[in-house]
Structure 1
Amino acid sequence: MVKFGTEKDEHPPAVFLWGGPGIGKSAIIRQVVEELGMDPEESFIDLRLTQLDPVDLRGLPRLESEDYVEWATPHFLPREGEGVLFLDELNLAPGAVQNAAYQLILDRRLGDYELPNRWVMIAAGNRAEDRAGVNPMKAPLSNRFVHWEVETDLEDWKDWAYDKGIDHRVIGFLNFKPGMLYRFDREKGKHAFPTPRTWERVSDLLEMGLTATGEIGSAVGLGAAREFKAYIRMGDELPDAEAVLEGKDEVPEEPDRIHALVSSMVQKGADREGFEERIVEYANLLPAEFAVLLVKDALRAGIPIQTTEQFQEFSERHKDLILGEKP
């Protein structure tokens, strides 16, 4: 994250985030604002340029005297404090709107209006290959940005997913098939496809009791829904996660079943206290890859296994797998 501006006339460059639809570009920036200790309601302005006309940015003229006109500054632009002005869907906006944004992006001004020093400008948009109907950015506008590519990463997504209470079956399935986190289908007529955003919708559907293949498919597409449903059916045949947490030493042989059991154990362990030692104890029964997965996901879910003696021993034994990876 670029640093915020100072009280002097020093400002970080405007940044453009490129990425496919549904990967959570705006959610990432909002989360960064929260992690910096700022209130998103005050310090995060999500400005959808596709919904604006050029005059909406420049403001409307008002007559101050017989021979003087002043431009009224749009109410949605910040006037004090610090934060992020997020120009979403910039390259979906018509060329005239993009042109109107030139001065704001380059000079941090619009007529008499000036963006406060401690506000950062970040823009985002889809790529041409995403079939999102983007309008090409003219070279002078593109040259005003530092350009970053945003990619999906399962480990980062799970940090968010456990914090947001995403259904453990969704997390377990994506542990088993990480390539399903984002699978953009460029074939015409495919309206639903797997993205971080649509897997969140699947979690919401499960919470509402909507579990049919067609219902899940409405969010992530029928192909992904069929695989997800097969995973859920397989999970119904697993050892009971609560019985395992209570001391049952049964380890499935198939990798997909271990993934399902691990996610279920983490969910149940996060809902109740007192399983910290048992989780690490059971992890020691698993193949190393799954042992580390169980421990790391337990930490993500806020289970305080790091306070146990077993965790210290586990960390030493598996330090080659854990070292350099995020908990």
Structure 2
Amino acid sequence: MASVSLDRATTLLGHYIDQNIPAHLWGHPGIGKSEVVQQIATERKAKLIDIRLSMFDPVDLRGLPTTQNGETEWLRPAIWPKDNESTILFFDELDRAAPAVQNAALQIILDRKIGEHALPDQVRIVAAGNGTTDRVGTNRTSNAGNNRFAHIEVEPDVDAWKKWAYQTNLHPLVIAFVSFRPQLLHYSMDDKLAKDRNAKSMPTPRSWSEVAKFADAPDDIQHDLVSGLIGEGPAAEFDGFARTFRNLPSLDGVIADPNGAKVPDDPGSRFAISVGLSVMADASNFNNVVTYARRLPDDFSAMLVTDATRRDNGLYHTQSFSQFARDHQEVFQ
């Protein structure tokens, strides 16, 4: 199967859910599979039942046995979806579950029931796993089990991640750094990191969201905090970029005087100021932001305007954007 970005995976998953087809997301740890399912549930106002199968026993899915009138019955588990409630039943870490647990989950997926317990009609099923290439204690899933799903392979995608980062107001320092060093969005995109089997901390979309919590930490502790999340090498690069980011010209000053403000010479500073301005852009100052963008090299000016409109869709409808898009048709066609 072909690999797709998180944006594309979200679209595909939505179509499978509409047709009541169980879907399985595959991808590296920390890439954002769980977040995709959460996003779908939130958009559809559906309850999300998140079951980490690696922590379950088969009886947890079927329920405990009891006796009634001399016969064995199975109590309904508390996690079982309720009637008349739109629900996404999410079997996470399916390929890390013991074979007996996989078999119990696959019975639910195929038959929409286990024992006496049947899923309500409004329940939709999604699963996720890492695959055997990640060496994270996975168990091979059977061909029969795989045939019960539509499969979606998710790969790291910087543009999709940046769109998510802007929408969630992630710290601009982190967005700027990943724009500057896109290979460090995820360890699988960097050959050296991917081959380091001893690494305990590594960059992933998930870990970058944690790094953002320390973007304003004091210099004397920031490096240790960040290296604990993404590893020593990426953290050292992040340190240097953070110093560049903090030494940028005043963004308020740039917006106030877009024709006179200094334009940085080095690529790191250009990435930093482009992201910084894209975060600050709004309808009231966008004309000045675009004026300054035009003074940057074309690739940076296009990134600045693209990121600003990605964060605030209303900017697409401004005269400033329309004119910029006409002047850069190769980017916005």
The alignment's TM-score, normalised by the length of structure 1, stands at 0.89
The answer to whether 1:296 aligns with 2:290 is: no
The one-character-per-residue Cα deviations of 1:80-131 (angstroms, maximum 9, x if unpaired) are 3223111000111111111221210111111121112222211111121111
Distance 2:114 2:218 in 1: 50
| Corresponding residue number in structure 2 for 1:79 | 82
Mapping of residues 259-270 of structure 1, within 5 Å: 259-269=271-281
Mapping of residues 178-217 of structure 1, within 5 Å: 178-184=182-188, 185-209=194-218, 212-217=222-227
**Equivalent of 2:249, from 234, 239, 251?**
239
Distance 1:307 1:17 in 2: 36
**Equivalent of 1:30, from 31, 35, 38?**
38
Mapping of residues 159-170 of structure 1, within 5 Å: 159-170=163-174
The one-character-per-residue Cα deviations of 1:227-284 (angstroms, maximum 9, x if unpaired) are 11111122334322221111133222222211011112233446xx731211122122
Amino acid at match of 1:234: T
Please say if residues 285 and 291 of structure 1, whose CA atoms lie closer than 8 Å, have aligned partners that are also in contact.
yes
The answer to whether 1:218 aligns with 2:218 is: no
Mapping of residues 134-149 of structure 1, within 5 Å: 134-149=138-153
Where in structure 2 are there 5+ consecutive unaligned residues? 1-12, 189-193
Distance 1:256 1:134 in 2: 39
Amino acid at match of 2:22: A
Distance 2:308 2:239 in 1: 24
The answer to whether 1:91 aligns with 2:101 is: no
**Equivalent of 2:49, from 24, 30, 45?**
45
Q: 1:233 to 1:139 in 2, by over 3 A?
A: same
Distance 2:216 2:242 in 1: 14
The answer to whether 1:101 aligns with 2:72 is: no
* SS at structure 1 position matched to 2:299: helix
Q: 1:110 to 1:138 in 2, by over 3 A?
A: same
Distance 2:105 2:298 in 1: 53
Distance 2:298 2:126 in 1: 41
Moved more, 227-236 or 24-33: 227-236
Distance 1:31 1:94 in 2: 28
Please say if residues 214 and 222 of structure 2, whose CA atoms lie closer than 8 Å, have aligned partners that are also in contact.
no
Amino acid at match of 1:263: V
Please say if residues 280 and 305 of structure 1, whose CA atoms lie closer than 8 Å, have aligned partners that are also in contact.
no
Percent identity over the alignment is 35
More helix, by proportion: 2
The one-character-per-residue Cα deviations of 1:15-69 (angstroms, maximum 9, x if unpaired) are 1111001001011111122233x15xxx211111111111111111222212x32
Would you identify which runs of 4 or more consecutive aligned residues in structure 1 move more than 6 Å? none
Q: 1:241 to 1:2 in 2, by over 3 A?
A: closer
Amino acid at match of 1:22: G
Q: CA RMSD in A?
A: 2.1
Please say if residues 14 and 40 of structure 2, whose CA atoms lie closer than 8 Å, have aligned partners that are also in contact.
no
Q: Displacement, 1:307?
A: 4.2
Q: Displacement, 1:209?
A: 4.5
Number of positions where the alignment pairs a residue of Structure 1 with one of Structure 2: 312
Please say if residues 183 and 195 of structure 1, whose CA atoms lie closer than 8 Å, have aligned partners that are also in contact.
yes
Please say if residues 5 and 118 of structure 1, whose CA atoms lie closer than 8 Å, have aligned partners that are also in contact.
no
* SS at structure 2 position matched to 1:263: helix
Where in structure 1 are there 5+ consecutive unaligned residues? none
Please say if residues 276 and 303 of structure 1, whose CA atoms lie closer than 8 Å, have aligned partners that are also in contact.
no
| Corresponding residue number in structure 2 for 1:116 | 120
Amino acid at match of 2:179: N
